[in-house]
């Protein structure tokens, strides 16, 4: 992980769950970022964006200089193999640089994924995975990952307002991340801008995360050349702009919602509830992670 850029291109924004860019448009943006010095690109199985990466990897770039990360929900050997095979085949790459377990909550969830982690370790020894990691919105998850012998990278949520941290405060998460760093883990922060909520205080929000000495890299979702250029200046050249490039995103729920409650159950942030038989979002809690989008079979909930 020594050579990854401090800024990681979070590609949820480009995926079918959000902007739904064509593979060519997404690859153009990723290639643009690469030429600006960004070599770290993050996705996840649930983002359904592997075809965008397949297109990107077809571009004339040295594969060994591009660092790709993905995450999955595998819990046993079979699901771990399926997830890894899907990633490698869909992106048409012989290996993935970083493969992570998504949304780990505590030592108990990590224990429940032990078989998957063992499979990843086996695949790492065969060169199909570069590094093993986990993502978490939980203080307890970060603390559990910190002492897990197979976890090398922790991808925690951290931002100035403490948005999205499920089981504690910003200070609790800072302490957990610091602990993980002391155990030799690579810290790859997410949601420094609170999923878009902190765009109004963009400079201060980035200054906060960049000021934490134990953060090695941070993922920011981007969707235009202008946004990439601004974040490269802020994160990699220490020229933090006071204002963000104008980019507003929001969660919308179609009036056709039948109130089945699937999305409500899926949201870890408690941002959704049913009111008079329809899903309703509390925008102050929603971090625009898009996890709920896939839970609606009829696509009545989306981030745009």
**Measured between alpha carbons, how far is residue 211 from residues 3, 20, 192, 235, 240 in Å?**
20, 33, 12, 11, 12
The least CB distance from residue 252 to ligand SF4, in Å, is: 10
Q: How far is the CB of 243 from ligand SF4 (least distance, A)?
A: 24
Give the whole-angstrom CA distance, residue 121 versus residue 80: 11
Residue 138 makes contact with ligand SF4 by CB under 6 A: no
Q: Is 193 in the site for ligand SF4 (CB under 6 A)?
A: no
Enumerate residues 244-273 that contact ligand SF4 by CB under 6 A: 251, 253, 257-263, 266-267, 269, 271-272
Closer residue to ligand SF4, CB minimum distance, 166 or 236 = 166
# chain residues binding ligand SF4, by CB under 6 A = 29
The least distance separating ligand SF4 from the CB of residue 163, rounded to whole angstroms, comes to 9
Output 121-129 pairs: Cβ under 8 A, ≥24 positions apart.
121/150, 123/84, 123/99, 127/94, 127/95, 128/84, 128/88, 128/94, 128/95, 128/96, 129/84, 129/95, 129/96, 129/98, 129/99
218 three-class SS: strand
Q: How is residue 156 written in tokens?
A: 């925690």
Interaction of residue 286 with ligand SF4, rule CB under 6 A: yes
Beta bridge partners of 99: 70, 132
The CA distance from 142 to 53, in Å, is 28
Among the listed residues 225, 201, 229, 196, the one whose alpha carbon sits nearest the alpha carbon of residue 304: 196
The Cα–Cα gap between 196 and 181 comes to: 26
Question: Residue 95 or residue 300: which is nearer to ligand SF4 going by CB?
Answer: 300
| Residues 95-114 contacting ligand SF4, CB under 6 A | none
Q: Decide: is 17 part of the binding site for ligand SF4 (CB under 6 A).
A: no
Minimum Å gap between C-beta 220 and ligand SF4 is 17
Q: Is 236 helix (H, G, I), strand (E, B) or coil?
A: helix
Select 202 or 300, whichever has its Cβ closest to ligand SF4: 300
Beta carbons of 41 and 9 less than 8 angstroms apart: yes
Task: Specify the stretch interacting with ligand SF4 by CB under 6 A; choose among 3-11, 119-127, 240-248, 290-298.
Answer: 290-298
d(CA 223, CA 13): 6
- Least distance to ligand SF4, CB of residue 168, Å: 17
The nearest distance, CB 292 to ligand SF4, in angstroms, is 3
Which one of 114-122, 146-154, 176-184, 283-291 is the stretch in contact with ligand SF4 (CB under 6 A)?
283-291
Using CA atoms, how far apart are residues 253 and 161, in angstroms rounded to an integer? 26
Q: Minimum Å distance from CB 136 to ligand SF4?
A: 15
Judged by CB under 6 A, the residue of 107, 224, 294, 295 near ligand SF4 is 295
> Judged by CB, which is closer to ligand SF4: 18, or 39?
18
Nearer to ligand SF4, 148 or 191 (CB): 191
Strand 67-72 versus strand 96-101 pairing type:
parallel
- The full length of the chain comes to 304
Q: Which stretch in 103-111, 170-178, 209-217, 281-289 sits in contact with ligand SF4 by CB under 6 A?
A: 281-289
Position among 27, 87, 291, 302 found at the interface with ligand SF4 (CB under 6 A): 291
Interacting residue ranges for ligand SF4, rule: CB under 6 A: 251, 253, 257-263, 266-267, 269, 271-272, 279, 281, 286-292, 295-296, 298, 300-301, 303
């Amino acid at each position: 992980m020594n050579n990854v850029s401090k800024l990681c291109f979070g590609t949820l924004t480009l995926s079918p769950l959000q902007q739904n860019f064509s593979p060519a448009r997404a690859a153009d943006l990723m290639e643009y970022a690469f030429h600006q010095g960004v070599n770290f690109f993050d996705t996840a199985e649930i983002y359904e964006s592997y075809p965008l990466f397949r297109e990107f990897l077809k571009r004339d770039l040295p594969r060994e200089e591009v660092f790709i990360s993905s995450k999955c929900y595998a819990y046993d050997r079979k699901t771990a193999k399926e997830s890894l095979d899907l990633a490698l085949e869909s992106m048409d790459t012989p290996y993935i640089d970083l493969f992570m377990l998504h949304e780990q909550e505590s030592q108990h969830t990590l224990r429940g994924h032990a078989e998957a982690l063992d499979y990843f370790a086996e695949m790492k020894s065969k060169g199909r995975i570069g590094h093993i990691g986990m993502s978490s919105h939980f203080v307890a998850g970060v603390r559990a990952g910190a002492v897990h012998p197979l976890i090398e990278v922790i991808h925690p949520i951290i931002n100035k307002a403490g948005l999205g941290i499920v089981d504690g405060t910003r200070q609790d998460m800072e302490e957990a991340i610091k602990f993980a760093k002391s155990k030799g883990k690579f810290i790859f922060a997410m949601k420094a801008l609170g999923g878009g909520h902190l765009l109004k205080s963009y400079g201060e929000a980035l200054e906060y995360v960049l000021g934490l000495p134990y953060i090695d890299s941070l993922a920011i979702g981007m969707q235009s050349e202008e946004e990439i250029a601004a974040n490269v200046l802020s994160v990699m050249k220490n020229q933090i702009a006071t204002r963000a490039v104008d980019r507003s995103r929001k969660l919308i729920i179609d009036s056709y919602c039948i109130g089945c409650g699937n999305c409500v159950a899926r949201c870890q942030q408690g941002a959704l509830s049913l009111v008079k038989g329809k899903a309703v979002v509390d925008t102050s809690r929603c971090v625009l992670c898009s996890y709920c989008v896939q839970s609606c079979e009829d696509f009545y909930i989306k981030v745009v």
